[in-house]
């Protein structure tokens, strides 16, 4: 079966996640071999995902962990106290 | 990996039994994950930090209710996403979650953008730092229901089942929304990241206008 570009676009995500059934996969790969537009869209989407997974996209604020554990410590103490009060 | 899971189980049991201080160790591997999930949703560093702290405190207080049916990380991220959704709701005074559920299930009526010059990871085309900023801005522009799926699947790299469980939606809906989110991102980024006019621009311009 010959796929149109539009049909290929619907499956880009499934293709990247390797979730397509073998028949569809073969059809899409055949299309990609001959279609520069679709293969460019596929490559660019894949690249965006590679970048998205890059840990440096988002950074933790300086001192984040210290503040988190300090506040947590306080909450833990309070919880422990109220638990011992109620028993 | 197995050793981590075992250690985690042990920590949970001991915290529940009263060794509260071990909770710090228990959550340490997930600090970043929780913060990023929330930051992506709230788009405000200060609020994301406050919300992350609340999430960890809530997790501590409700640790007993963790049954071990899911991974501890999935349980934590579920609490994190609920906190983020709640804050978004409050901020907008409108529900973000049940919004048009089902409407987005129609597939295929989008048009991707073509990035012929961007087939390689463009380390030279743009400063990396600038690139990260552009990407963050694009993610920020996605509607919350797509952003939350994208952040869990493609940023935090949770699997489909974990994502579905953390968001309280089913796996097919995760797939549909993820596909949409990725395509929106692709479309948003294409014009920004296309550096110089490619030779074939006219051709692609015609095709995608």
Name the residue of chain A whose CA is nearest to B44's CA: A61
pTM above 0.90, yes or no: no
Domain that holds residue A20: 5-86
Name the residue of chain A whose CA is nearest to B116's CA: A40
Q: Do B121 and A51 touch (CB under 8 A)?
A: yes
Nearest to A41 among B45, B61, B112 (CB): B112
What pLDDT score was predicted for residue B56?
Answer: 98
How many other C-beta atoms are found inside a 10 Å radius of the C-beta of residue B197?
A: 10
With pLDDT > 90 as the criterion, what percentage of chain B qualifies?
A: 61
Best of A5, A21, A47 to substitute, by most chain B Cβ atoms within 10 angstroms, is A47
What pLDDT score was predicted for residue B105?
Answer: 47
Q: Which residue would you say has higher pLDDT here, B111 or B64? A: B64
What pLDDT score was predicted for residue B209?
Answer: 34
Q: Do B40 and A58 touch (CB under 8 A)?
A: yes
Q: What is the pLDDT of residues B22-72, one digit of tens each?
A: 999 999 999 999 999 999 999 999 999 999 999 999 999 999 999 888 899
Residue B154 has pLDDT above 80, yes or no: yes
Which value does ipTM take for this structure?
A: 0.85
Between B19-28, B68-77, B108-117, B143-152, the lowest mean confidence (pLDDT) is in B108-117
How many other C-beta atoms are found inside a 10 Å radius of the C-beta of residue B43?
A: 16
Q: Do B131 and A51 touch (CB under 8 A)?
A: yes
Average pLDDT over residues A23-52: 90
Nearest to A61 among B24, B49, B157 (CB): B49
d(CA B164, CA B65): 20
What pLDDT score was predicted for residue B93?
Answer: 66
Average pLDDT over residues A63-78: 96
Q: Which residue would you say has higher pLDDT here, B58 or B116? A: B58
Instruction: Give the minimum alpha-carbon distance from B85 to chain A in angstroms, rounded to a whole number.
Output: 20
- In chain A, the number of structural domains is 1
Between A75-79, B34-38, B90-94, the lowest mean confidence (pLDDT) is in B90-94
A57: buried, middle or exposed (CB in 10 Å: 19+, 13-18, 0-12)? middle
Q: Look up the CATH number of domain B103-207.
A: 1.10.10.10
Instruction: Give the minimum alpha-carbon distance from A32 to chain B in angstroms, rounded to a whole number.
Output: 14
Class of domain B2-92: mainly alpha
Q: Do A14 and B154 touch (CB under 8 A)?
A: no
d(CA B120, CA B180): 23
CB < 8 Å to A12, chain B: 112, 179, 182-183
d(CA B207, CA B202): 9
With pLDDT > 70 as the criterion, what percentage of chain A qualifies?
A: 97
> In the predicted model, what is the mean pLDDT of chain B?
82
Highest mean pLDDT among A39-48, A67-76, B91-100: A67-76
Q: Domain map of chain B by residue range?
A: 2-92, 103-207
């Amino acid at each position: 079966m010959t796929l149109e570009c539009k049909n290929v676009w619907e499956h880009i995500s499934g293709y990247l996640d390797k979730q397509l059934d073998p028949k569809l996969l073969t059809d899409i790969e055949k299309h990609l071999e001959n279609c520069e537009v679709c293969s460019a869209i596929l490559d660019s989407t894949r690249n965006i995902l590679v970048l998205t997974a890059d840990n440096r996209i988002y950074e933790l604020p300086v001192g984040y962990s210290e503040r988190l554990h300090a506040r947590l410590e306080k909450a833990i103490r309070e919880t422990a106290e109220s638990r011992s009060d109620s028993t | 990996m197995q050793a981590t899971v075992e250690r985690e189980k042990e920590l949970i049991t001991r915290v529940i039994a009263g060794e509260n201080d071990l909770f710090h160790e228990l959550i340490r591997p997930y600090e970043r994950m929780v913060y990023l999930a929330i930051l992506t949703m709230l788009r405000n560093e200060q609020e994301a930090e406050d919300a992350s702290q609340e999430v960890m405190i809530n997790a501590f207080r409700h640790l007993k209710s963790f049954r071990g049916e899911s991974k501890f990380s999935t349980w934590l991220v579920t609490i994190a996403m609920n906190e983020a959704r709640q804050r978004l709701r409050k901020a907008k005074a409108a529900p973000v979650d049940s919004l048009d559920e089902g409407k987005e299930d129609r597939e295929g009526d989008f048009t991707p953008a073509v990035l012929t010059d961007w087939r390689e990871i463009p380390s030279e085309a743009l400063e990396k730092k600038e690139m990260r900023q552009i990407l963050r801005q694009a993610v920020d522009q996605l509607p919350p229901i797509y952003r939350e799926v994208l952040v869990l699947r493609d940023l935090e790299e949770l699997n489909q089942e974990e994502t579905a469980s953390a968001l309280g939606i089913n796996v097919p809906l995760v797939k549909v929304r993820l596909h949409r989110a990725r395509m929106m991102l692709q479309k948003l980024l294409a014009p920004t990241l296309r550096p110089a006019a490619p030779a074939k621009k006219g051709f692609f311009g015609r095709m995608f206008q």
